[in-house]
Amino acid sequence: MTRIDRKFAALKAEGKKAFVAYVMAGDPDYDTSLEIIKGLPGAGVDIIEMGMPFTDPMADGPTIQLAGQRALDGGQTLEKTLAMAREFRKGNDETPIVMMGYYNPIYNRGVPKFLEDAKAAGIDGLIVVDLPPEEDAELCIPAAKAGLNFIRLATPTTDDKRLPKVLQNTSGFLYYVSITGITGAAAPQAIDVAPEVARIKAQTDLPVVVGFGIRTPEAAEQIAGIADGAVVGSAIVKLIEEQRPLDEILAYVKSLADGAHRA
């Protein structure tokens, strides 16, 4: 079992839903970003999604695009992102970390080396949004052999014919993108998302967490209530962009986590 598997098992035993928080590694700079990431578990975050900055983030809206650009401008690299995970692990060996991003930096490093380095750094899972199931041999299957979960995204356009293909090598959890479009766009409505989550859960035993567009504790509670957890990214990244104090960022994260945990 990975840390992700253990986390979901523990939450299920407690009758709780998961709260997943996304931040861009290196935004606004290495030291501040590391401080934020280290503070997330204490704010109630169950799983940390750590963005890998990339020059062409096609699935991301303006907020996360700008975060990636700030990180790159500050000198953030894949090596520094792995170093951040290693530093986090010195004080926390429990909270799962998922690296989320695009295939190009991984390909550039070389898949075997990347997987070895990621595992050694304490990474638990990968979300690589531009690798479809048809390319599973490229990274997904090697990642599973290395002991890393490969987490796939499903969307409102993933129909019943496509869904089994999406699920076949997915592990850890399935990330359901609640809206059509980019990150940070329209807010999802639980009444619309619930049937889709039920449809997916009829085909898999994996936990299903829902993200894109969640900004309030109430929305986190409603979405977590019809799924196995909620993900928030852009709303947190926006506070980092606004250079809010660390305690203010973490207080906001805690309010969202509390909402999800009330579900």
Q: What is the pLDDT of residues 208-241, one digit of tens each?
A: 999 988 999 999 999 999 999 999 999 999 999 9
| The pLDDT value given to residue 213 | 87
Look-up of token digits 């567009």:
213
Q: Which residues are catalytic?
A: 49, 60
Strand intervals (E) in 32-183: 47-51, 97-101, 125-128, 149-150, 153-154, 174-177
Average pLDDT of the segment spanning 48-60: 94
Look-up of token digits 């993108």:
177
Mean pLDDT for all residues in the chain: 95
Is 90 exceeded by the pLDDT of residue 249? yes
For residue 59, what is the DSSP state? T
Split at pLDDT 50, 70, 90, the class of 258 is very high
Short-list 27, 127, 130, CA closest to 80? 27
Domains identified in the chain and CATH numbers = 3-262 (3.20.20.70)
Average pLDDT of the segment spanning 19-24: 98
Look-up of token digits 């209530």:
225
What is the b/e burial string over 162-188, where b = at least 16 CB atoms within 10 angstroms of the residue's CB? ebeebbeebbbbbbbbbbeebbbeeeb
Distance between CA 255 and CA 61 in Å, rounded? 23
Split at pLDDT 50, 70, 90, the class of 190 is confident
The pTM assigned to this predicted structure is 0.96
| The pLDDT value given to residue 184 | 57
Answer whether 127's CB lies under 8 Å from 100's CB.
Answer: yes
Q: Which phi and psi angles does 82 have, rounded to 5°? A: -65, -40
Strand intervals (E) in the chain: 18-24, 47-51, 97-101, 125-128, 149-150, 153-154, 174-177, 208-211, 229-232
Is 70 exceeded by the pLDDT of residue 185? no
- Residue 3: CB atoms within 10 A of its CB come to 20
Distance between CA 216 and CA 213 in Å, rounded? 9
For residue 61, what is the DSSP state? -
- Residue 13: CB atoms within 10 A of its CB come to 8
| The pLDDT value given to residue 61 | 87
Q: pLDDT tens for residues 69-119?
A: 999 999 999 999 999 999 999 999 999 999 999 999 999 999 999 999 999
Short-list 71, 83, 68, CA closest to 32? 71
Q: pLDDT tens for residues 105-128?
A: 999 999 999 999 999 999 999 999
Rounded to 10 degrees, the C-alpha dihedral 59/206/170/46 comes to 60
Short-list 239, 179, 232, 226, CA closest to 200? 226
| The pLDDT value given to residue 59 | 82
Answer whether 261's CB lies under 8 Å from 44's CB.
Answer: yes
Short-list 92, 115, 197, CA closest to 155? 197
